[in-house]
Amino acid sequence: MPNDFDLIIIGAGPAGIFTALELADTGMSILILEKGLDIRERIALNKNRQAKAADRYANIVSGWGGAGAFSDGKLTLTTDYGGNLDDYMNKGELARLISYVDGVYCRYGGADRKVYGDEYKEELHELKRRAAAADLSFIPARIRHLGTDVNGEILSRMRDSLPANVTVKSKCPVDTILVSDGVVQGVIAGGETYRCKYLVAAPGRDGAEWFTGEAKRIGLPTESNAVDIGVRVESPAEVFEPITNICYESKLVYFSRSFDDRVRTFCMNPYGFVVTENNNGLMTVNGHSYAHKKSENTNFAILVSKQFTEPFHEPIEYGKYIATLANMLGGGPIVQRLGDLRDGRRSTAERIRRGLIHPTMPSATPGDLSLVLPYRFLKDIMEMFEALDEACPGANSRHTLLYGVEVKFYSSRIALSSQLETKIPNFFAIGDGAGITRGLVQASAAGVVVGREIAARIGQPKGEL
């Protein structure tokens, strides 16, 4: 039957792509269903300045390559952050998986991209010392920086490498997961029913809410993840060169004095650009940097992690509510100088123009983030800036730009086996939208785990990593 497949993969982000790459040579009939555009259409739309704003925004988070396609292309080669896969395997296994994933990216065109963090041991020690003196935990990592432009080329080559037994349907969102009597049956997408023996749900963050709803409907037990809410920071690149020249990106973690909340930096982009991200109509912010195009600024997020307890179980809705306030006041993302926020006044276009930092996202509306973010989050962020200023003098400048809001939506986390299988046999759940990964490398690694497990079940084991 034309709509019968051995395997259906929901989502063509890194998790779905790596599942397909692992199984492409087995001869299985594989269907990948993706709500967004195929990769070359995505790249063309991203470059088309005449395209409708709504189409361009939607293209940022959906399509072949997922949200990672246009988000700087950083491969974080560490087990210390980037997801929760170490809850399902030991650190040694995860380290081998990460090395394997890095090798795959290199094979498709990333081999000549620089790996940061292999040198400067004395400088790293000094950075750790200065951070510790400011109550910051400095977590360096080996980073292979592909760049947004090179990452697009790699994703295109991965797409082109798939043989005829792998079918990709773009612009085809999945509506319903079909399960009967505890057995996976397939999916309904675009009004069509597709049946399969194996099903891999690999949604990105844009699909987190949909997947949570489907999981509850078919009876999969879940628990709420934290929601991360904060701002995208933009400073002169020189301020953070003590970090970025040595390890490109690192994680700085702080526990606030006032509330003991966990505050962290995320997604540092040296000489990068702040961009708008569309989450089903909600405009939030993100950042990226290119291999061959640079700005004068470095941007990164400061995020406050909030884990809700009884009786509240809707962290995604809470994050959407905060983003909605920013959109309501600014018609999209808001930008504010740190000094204006401290002084309790709105930034204006004139104040931004007179500042020392030229914004890389001039479309953001000058405004007042104190009308959007709760006091607790603002207090945490202000304390974080004080700590950062001790490690990187100039971080707490009144001219520093804050874009808001940045929200990371993570799906409720589903109970999974060590093979990332749900309680329904042959139904696997991976990717950022399934709540277990938070970046390119671990999402890709999850795809490898599932691909190898399915290969073993059909009698074609892949061997040791």
Rounded to 5 degrees, φ, ψ at 87 are -80, -15
* 24 within 8 A of 30, measured Cβ to Cβ: yes
pLDDT of residue 410: 65
pLDDT of residue 134: 95
For residue range 375-412, list pLDDT tens digits in order: 999 999 999 999 999 999 999 999 999 999 998 866 57
For residues 277 and 313, give the distance between their C-alpha atoms in angstroms, rounded to a whole number.
Answer: 25
pLDDT of residue 381: 98
User: Three-state DSSP class for 140?
Assistant: strand
For residue range 63-113, list pLDDT tens digits in order: 999 988 887 788 999 998 888 899 999 999 999 999 999 999 999 999 999
Taking the domains of the chain in order of start, what are their residue ranges?
4-113+146-222+413-457, 226-408
* 255 within 8 A of 261, measured Cβ to Cβ: yes
Question: Using CB atoms within 10 A of its CB, is residue 129 exposed (0-12), middle (13-18) or buried (19+)?
Answer: exposed
Per-residue pLDDT of the chain (465 residues), as tens digits, is 579 999 999 999 999 999 999 999 999 999 999 999 999 999 999 888 888 877 777 788 899 999 888 877 889 999 988 888 999 999 999 999 999 999 999 999 999 998 887 777 788 889 999 999 999 999 888 889 898 889 999 999 999 999 999 999 999 999 999 999 999 999 999 999 999 999 999 998 888 889 989 999 999 988 777 789 999 999 999 999 989 888 888 789 999 999 999 999 998 999 999 998 877 778 899 998 877 789 999 999 999 998 777 777 777 788 889 999 999 999 999 999 999 999 999 999 999 999 999 999 999 999 999 999 999 999 999 999 999 999 999 999 999 999 999 988 665 788 899 999 999 999 999 998 888 888 899 999 999 999 999 999 999 999 888
Q: Which amino acid is at 433?
A: G
* 76 within 8 A of 143, measured Cβ to Cβ: yes
pLDDT of residue 428: 98
Question: E-assigned strands of 115-258?
Answer: 115-116, 136-140, 143-145, 166-169, 174-180, 183-189, 192-201, 222-223, 227-236, 250-255
Identify the CA nearest to 335 among candidates 289, 370, 302, 369.
369
Question: Using CB atoms within 10 A of its CB, is residue 463 exposed (0-12), middle (13-18) or buried (19+)?
Answer: exposed
For residues 154 and 157, give the distance between their C-alpha atoms in angstroms, rounded to a whole number.
Answer: 5
Q: Which fold has domain 4-113+146-222+413-457?
A: FAD/NAD(P)-binding domain (3.50.50)
pLDDT of residue 142: 87
pLDDT of residue 301: 96
For residues 257 and 247, give the distance between their C-alpha atoms in angstroms, rounded to a whole number.
Answer: 28
pLDDT of residue 463: 85
pLDDT of residue 1: 59
Identify the CA nearest to 103 among candidates 18, 29, 35.
18
pLDDT of residue 383: 98
Give, to the nearest 10 degrees, the angle between helix 208-217 and helix 315-330.
150
